[in-house]
C-alpha cells in the first residue's frame, strides 16, 4: 500500500493515481482513529492537562480562580497529613506489589514443579477469584473479617493468640498493614496466573536437565525461573505498583482513611480535598504528584523489561 | 523426575493454605449473611436457623432491581461504543499503519499509566458545565474514554499480527478500506473483540470512583457504586450488608467462571504486551 511497494517502471499517470489513492487511504485511515482519539482527548488528555493547570491555582470549583504558582505543591509537601499519604502509598507498594509478586513467583514455580495437572489448574482458578470481584466488595468483606468479632480474631483466639485480638482496621499501628493484606488477597492470583503462564513458556528441557543433576527447588528457582521470567515479573510489578499507589476503593470502604489519618492514601485525599473541602488547587497538586510518582517508579521497571528482551 | 516426598508435601500444603486464605473470606460472609438481621455473629458460625430471607430483604432495601437495570444500561451504553471505536482505531494503527501510528500508539499507551484520580476533578467540572452531571451518560462517556488505552492497544496487537497478504490480495481485487474492515478483518477479529467486551463489562460493573463522584443518585449508578451507598446505610447491620455484597459480587464470579479462559488470556496478553 505504500509507494515503495510499487514497481519502479510505473508510467507518470499511474504514479499520480497511486499517489492520490495513497493520500485518500491515509485520510480514510485517520477517520478510523478519529472517534477513539476524540473521546480519549476530551475525557482523558484534556482533563490531564487541566489537572496540571488547576494545580497552580487557588479555586473552589465555582468562584474566581487565582494564580498561586507552586504554593499548592508547597502545601502538599509541608502539611504532614498530605505528604503522609504518599508515605502510606509507598508502604502499600510492599503489600500490593512486592509480596504478591514474590509469593506469586513461589506459588507459580511450585505449581510448575509438583502440580502441573488438575490440582494446579484448580489452585490457579481459586486464587484468581478475588481479582474479578469489585474492589469495594473486597473492602466490605475484609472490613468484616478484621472486625472485633470477625474471622481473623476468631482464628487468633483459636490458636492461643487471644491476647492480641483487636479491631485491626481501627488500630493506629496495624490498620495500614491490614489494608495491605486485602491487597495481597486481591492480587496474589493475578500475579500467580501471569507468572505461571510465563513459566509454562520456559523450555521444559532446562528444568529436566537441572533435575537430572539433582537440583532442588531453591536452585531451580533462582537459576532458571527468576532470570527467565524478567519480562513477566516486570509486567506484574508495573500493574500492581500502579494499583498500590492509586488505591481508592478498598481504603474508602474499609477504613475511610482512619483511624485519624493512619490509612489515608493519595487517591482518597484527592477525593476529600476536591469534593468535600472544595480545595481544587491542592487536590490537583496532589493528583499531579501521584501521576509523576507512578511514572517515576514505572520507568525503571520498564527498562528492566526492555533489557530482558535483548 | 526426582521430587522428594517432603517437597511434594510442602508444596501441596502451601497451595492448600493459600487456597483456604482465598476462599475463607467468601465462606465467612456467606455464613454471616444467613444470621438474623441486625445481630453480630462470629466470623465462621453456621446459624441455628439460616435466614435465607436476608437475600430477599437486601435485594429489596437496596433497590436491587432498579440497580441491575441501571447497571446493565450503563454496560450497554459503554461496551458496544467502546468496542466499535477501539476496534476501528486498532485497525487503522495496527493494519493500515497510517502515518503517525507510532505516535498515536504511544499517546494511547500513556493513558495506561494514568490513575483515574489524576483526571477525575476536571471530568467532574466539565460534566457540570455540559449539564450531564448526575446522569448515566455522566458515567458512560468518561468510561468509554478511559477504556481507549487498553482497547486500542489490545485490538492493535491483534491487527498487527494479521498476515499482510490477506489485505493486499483484497486491495488488489479493488476492495475499499471499509470492505476490507467490515467483510474481512472484522469476522477474523471476533475472538479478541469478545474477550475485550467481557473485560469491559466487568470493569464497568465494578467501577466505583466515577460512579461515586459523577452521580449523586445511587439508583443511577453502577453496581459497585450502589454497593458503596448501601454500605453507608447498613454498616451496622452486618448480616444484611454481607447479603447485599454477595448479591453484587456473584454476577462477576459467574461471568468469570463461564468465560475464565478468555478473561485470563485477555488480561495476561494485554499485560504482557504492555
Please tell me the distance from the alpha carbon of residue B169 to that of residue B179, in angstroms, as a whole number: 13
- Predicted confidence (pLDDT) at residue A2 exceeds the cutoff of 80: no
What torsion, rounded to 10 degrees, do the Cα atoms B248, B253, B255, B260 define? 160
- Cell representation of residue A110: 511450585
Task: Determine the pLDDT at residue B8.
Answer: 86
A204 to chain B nearest CA, in Å?
12
Coil, strand, or helix at residue A57? strand
Model pLDDT for residues A70-84, shown as the tens digit of each residue: 999 999 999 999 999
A93 touches chain B (CB under 8 A): no
Closest residue by Cα to residue A263 from A276, A273, A275, A251: A251
Q: What is the pLDDT of residue A308?
A: 55
Predicted local distance difference test score (pLDDT) of residue A310:
41
The total number of structural domains that make up chain B: 1
Fold classification of A71-309 (topology level): MetI-like fold (1.10.3720)
Q: How confident is the model at residue A306 (pLDDT cuts 50, 70, 90)?
A: low
Check B14 against A280: CB less than 8 A apart.
no
Give B 62-81 residues with CB within 8 A of chain A. Answer: none
A218 vs A88, more confident: A88
Q: Residue A10: pLDDT band by 50, 70, 90 thresholds? A: very low
Confidence of residue A9 (pLDDT cuts 50, 70, 90): very low
**Confidence at residue A33, expressed as pLDDT on a 0 to 100 scale:** 95
Euclidean distance between CA atoms B34 and B46, whole angstroms: 8
Residue B136: the pLDDT is 87
Task: Collapse the DSSP code of B36 into the 3-class scheme (helix H, G, I; strand E, B; otherwise coil) and give the result.
Answer: coil
Residue B193's pLDDT is 92
CB contacts of B238 in chain A (<8 Å) are: 144
Instruction: Tell whether B99 is covered by a domain.
Output: yes
Q: What is the pLDDT of residue A12?
A: 54
Question: How crowded is residue A164: how many other Cβ atoms within 10 Å of its Cβ?
Answer: 10
Mean pLDDT of chain B, nearest integer: 87
Cell numbers of B179, please? 470492505
Find the domain containing B146 and state its range: 64-225+249-273
Which of the 8 DSSP states describes residue A229?
T
Is B32 part of any domain?
Answer: no
The confidence score (pLDDT) of residue B270 equals 65
- CA A154 from chain centre, in angstroms, equals 32
Residue A106 CA to residue B24 CA, distance in Å, equals: 21
Query: For residue B74, how many C-alpha atoms fall within 13 Å in the half-sphere facing its CB?
Result: 33
Taking the C-alpha atoms of residue A234 and residue A131, their distance in angstroms, rounded to an integer, is: 19
Closest to A185 in 3D by CA, of B242, B28, B33, B115: B28
Structure confidence by residue, pLDDT tens digits, A188-213: 999 999 999 888 888 888 888 888 88
Higher-confidence residue of A93 and B41: namely A93
- Examine the predicted complex and report whether its ipTM is higher than 0.85: yes
Tell me, yes or no, whether B25 lies in a domain: no
Confidence class for position A232, pLDDT limits 50, 70, 90: confident
Q: Where are the domains of chain A?
A: 3-43, 71-309
Which of chain B's residues have a Cβ under 8 Å away from the Cβ of A115? 11-12, 15
Residue B214 has pLDDT above 50, yes or no: yes
Residue B3 lies in a domain: no
Cell triple for B199: 473485560
Contacts of A303 (CB under 8 A, 6+ apart): none
More confident residue, A162 or A56: A56
Minimal CA separation from B202 to chain A, in Å: 8
At B6-40, the pLDDT tens digits run 888 889 999 999 999 999 999 999 999 998 887 88
**What's the CATH number where B202 sits?**
1.10.3720.10
Tens of pLDDT, residues B85-114: 999 999 999 998 889 999 999 999 899 889
B45 is a domain residue: no
Mean pLDDT of B158-180: 85
In the predicted model, what is the mean pLDDT of residues A89-95? 95
Question: What is the pLDDT averaged over residues B41-67?
Answer: 84
Interface contact A291-B15, CB threshold 8 A? no
Across the interface, whether the CB atoms of A33 and B255 are under 8 A apart is answered: no
Of B42, B145, B234, B253, which to mutate for an interface test with A (greatest number of A Cβ within 10 Å)? B145
Cβ(A196)–Cβ(A137) under 8 Å? no
In a domain, residue B211? The reply is yes
Query: SS in 3 state form for B188-254?
Result: HCHHHHHHHHHHHHHHHHHCCHHHHHHCCCHHHCCHHHHHHHHHHHHCCCHHHHHHHHHHHHHHHHH
Instruction: Supply the mean pLDDT for chain A.
Output: 88
Amino acid at each position: 500500500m505504500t509507494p515503495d511497494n510499487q514497481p519502479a517502471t510505473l508510467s507518470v499517470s499511474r504514479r499520480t493515481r497511486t499517489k492520490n489513492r495513497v493520500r485518500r487511504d491515509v485520510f480514510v485511515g485517520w477517520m478510523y482513529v478519529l472517534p477513539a482519539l476524540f473521546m480519549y482527548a476530551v475525557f482523558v488528555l484534556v482533563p490531564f492537562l487541566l489537572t496540571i493547570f488547576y494545580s497552580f491555582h487557588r479555586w473552589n470549583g465555582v468562584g474566581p480562580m487565582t494564580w498561586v504558582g507552586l504554593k499548592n505543591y508547597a502545601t502538599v509537601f509541608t502539611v504532614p497529613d498530605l505528604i503522609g499519604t504518599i508515605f502510606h502509598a509507598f508502604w502499600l507498594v510492599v503489600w500490593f506489589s512486592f509480596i504478591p509478586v514474590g509469593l506469586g513467583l513461589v506459588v507459580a514455580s511450585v505449581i510448575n514443579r509438583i502440580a502441573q495437572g488438575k490440582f494446579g489448574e484448580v489452585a490457579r482458578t481459586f486464587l484468581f477469584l478475588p481479582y474479578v470481584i469489585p474492589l469495594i466488595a473486597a473492602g466490605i468483606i475484609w472490613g468484616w473479617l478484621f472486625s472485633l468479632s470477625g474471622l481473623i480474631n476468631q482464628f487468633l483466639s483459636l490458636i492461643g493468640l487471644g491476647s492480641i485480638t483487636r479491631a485491626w482496621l481501627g488500630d493506629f499501628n496495624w490498620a495500614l498493614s491490614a489494608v495491605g493484606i486485602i491487597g495481597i488477597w486481591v492480587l496474589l492470583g493475578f500475579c500467580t496466573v501471569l507468572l505461571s503462564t510465563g513459566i509454562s513458556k520456559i523450555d521444559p528441557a532446562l528444568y529436566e536437565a537441572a533435575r537430572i543433576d539433582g537440583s532442588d527447588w531453591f536452585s531451580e528457582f533462582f537459576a532458571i525461573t527468576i532470570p527467565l521470567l524478567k519480562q513477566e515479573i516486570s509486567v506484574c510489578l508495573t500493574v500492581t505498583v500502579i494499583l498500590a499507589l492509586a488505591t481508592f476503593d478498598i481504603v474508602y470502604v474499609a477504613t475511610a482513611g482512619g483511624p485519624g489519618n493512619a490509612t489515608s492514601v493519595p487517591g482518597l485525599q484527592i477525593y476529600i480535598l476536591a469534593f468535600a473541602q472544595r480545595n481544587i488547587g491542592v487536590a490537583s497538586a496532589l493528583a499531579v504528584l501521584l501521576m509523576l510518582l507512578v511514572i517515576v517508579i514505572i520507568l525503571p521497571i520498564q527498562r528492566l523489561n526492555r533489557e530482558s528482551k535483548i | 523426575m526426582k521430587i522428594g516426598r517432603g517437597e511434594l508435601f510442602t508444596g501441596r500444603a502451601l497451595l492448600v493454605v493459600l487456597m483456604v486464605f482465598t476462599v475463607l473470606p467468601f465462606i465467612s460472609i456467606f455464613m454471616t449473611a444467613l444470621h438474623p438481621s441486625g445481630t453480630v455473629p462470629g466470623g465462621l458460625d453456621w446459624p441455628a436457623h439460616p435466614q435465607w430471607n436476608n437475600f430477599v430483604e437486601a435485594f429489596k432495601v437496596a433497590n436491587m432491581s432498579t440497580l441491575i437495570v441501571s447497571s446493565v444500561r450503563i454496560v450497554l451504553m459503554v461496551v458496544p461504543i467502546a468496542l466499535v471505536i477501539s476496534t476501528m482505531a486498532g485497525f487503522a494503527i495496527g493494519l493500515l499503519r497510517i502515518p503517525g501510528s507510532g505516535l498515536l500508539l504511544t499517546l494511547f499507551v500513556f493513558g495506561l499509566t494514568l490513575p483515574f484520580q489524576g483526571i477525575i476533578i476536571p471530568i467532574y467540572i466539565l460534566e457540570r458545565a455540559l449539564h450531564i452531571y448526575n446522569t448515566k451518560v455522566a458515567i458512560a462517556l468518561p468510561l468509554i474514554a478511559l477504556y481507549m488505552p487498553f482497547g486500542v492497544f489490545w485490538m492493535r496487537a491483534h491487527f498487527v499480527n494479521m498476515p499482510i497478504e490477506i489485505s493486499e490480495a483484497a486491495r488488489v481485487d479493488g476492495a475499499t478500506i471499509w470492505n476490507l474492515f467490515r467483510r474481512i478483518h472484522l469476522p477474523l477479529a471476533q475472538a479478541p473483540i469478545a474477550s475485550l467486551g467481557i473485560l469491559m463489562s466487568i470493569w464497568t460493573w465494578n467501577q466505583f470512583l466515577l460512579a461515586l463522584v459523577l452521580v449523586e443518585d445511587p439508583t443511577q449508578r453502577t453496581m459497585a457504586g450502589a454497593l458503596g451507598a448501601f454500605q453507608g446505610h447498613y454498616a451496622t447491620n452486618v448480616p444484611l450488608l454481607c447479603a447485599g455484597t454477595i448479591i453484587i459480587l456473584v454476577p462477576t464470579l459467574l461471568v468469570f467462571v463461564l468465560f475464565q479462559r478468555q478473561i485470563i488470556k485477555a488480561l495476561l496478553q494485554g499485560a504482557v504486551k504492555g
